[in-house]
Amino acid sequence: MTDTPITETAPEATEGKGFDALAGMGTQAAAPVRERIVDAQGRAYATGKRKNAIARVWIKPGSGKITINGRDQEIYLARPVLRMMIAQPLEIADRLTQFDVDVTVQGSGLSGQAGAIRHGIAKALTYYEPELRPVLKPHGFLTRDSRVVERKKYGRAKARRSFQFSKR
């Protein structure tokens, strides 16, 4: 090997030796290059999940209209908190009025569905524009919230609650 320090990579020392030669030299491997994933219509598709809700999300360039199960978001999600929640990934990425979002969601309740939609929108954004991943990942939008309802156990009133004790 040459007299160069370990932190510096000499091009002639690693030429034609592949990735293993670079890994042994003390250099840090670059992040994987992600490709844009869109369908024939120019839409990005992703599945978002939360509790028992599953949201199928398509995003395409547009004016910022969000449609959920064929209805406008104001009609489907009456609570402003839920509408704010599903718009968070678009706000963080500064793409609020650049994409039309079409969602089909089923299962769980409105809160779980809103969480699933948020997860799906964030994933679809990263498929459409892979450079948005470092922007969305620190906010936790790409992580599926794994909390679900605990199952009921036998001999119990609910998952953990015991039946009422009677001394007599």
| pLDDT (tens digit per residue) in 94-134 | 999 999 999 999 999 999 999 999 999 999 999 999 999 99
Number of domains in the chain: 1
Residue 164: is its pLDDT beyond 90?
A: yes
| Contact indicator for 146, 81 with CB cutoff of 8 Å | no
Question: What is residue 95's predicted lDDT score, i.e. its pLDDT?
Answer: 93
Q: What is the dihedral of CA 155, 158, 162, 166, to 10 degrees?
A: -90
Q: Is 162 helix (H, G, I), strand (E, B) or coil?
A: coil
For residue 98, tell me if it sits in a domain.
Answer: yes
pLDDT-derived band at 1 (thresholds 50, 70, 90) equals very low
| Contact indicator for 48, 121 with CB cutoff of 8 Å | yes
Question: What is residue 32's predicted lDDT score, i.e. its pLDDT?
Answer: 81
∠ CA 121-40-96, nearest 5°, is 30
For residue 103, tell me if it sits in a domain.
Answer: yes
Question: What is residue 30's predicted lDDT score, i.e. its pLDDT?
Answer: 72
Instruction: Determine which helix (DSSP H) or strand (DSSP E) holds 105, and give its type and residue range.
Output: strand 99-106
Residue 92: is its pLDDT beyond 50?
A: yes
For residue 73, tell me if it sits in a domain.
Answer: yes
Question: What is residue 26's predicted lDDT score, i.e. its pLDDT?
Answer: 55
DSSP letters spanning 28-69 = PPPPPPPPP---TTS-EEEEEEETTEEEEEEEEESS--EEET
Q: What is the mean pLDDT of residues 33-50?
A: 93
Instruction: Determine which helix (DSSP H) or strand (DSSP E) holds 19, and give its type and residue range.
Output: helix 19-24
Residue 85 belongs to a domain with what CATH number? Answer: 3.30.230.10
Q: Which two tokens stand for residue 31?
A: 């992040």
Question: What is residue 168's predicted lDDT score, i.e. its pLDDT?
Answer: 86
The domain of 71 spans 44-139
The mean of the pLDDT values for the chain is 87
The span from the CA of 47 to the CA of 123, in Å, is 8
Question: What is residue 8's predicted lDDT score, i.e. its pLDDT?
Answer: 45
For residue 105, tell me if it sits in a domain.
Answer: yes
Q: Are strands 71-72 and 99-106 parallel, antiparallel or unpaired?
A: unpaired
For residue 18, tell me if it sits in a domain.
Answer: no
Question: What is residue 9's predicted lDDT score, i.e. its pLDDT?
Answer: 46
For residue 97, tell me if it sits in a domain.
Answer: yes
Question: What is residue 90's predicted lDDT score, i.e. its pLDDT?
Answer: 95
pLDDT in tens, 56-91: 999 999 999 999 999 999 999 999 999 999 999 999
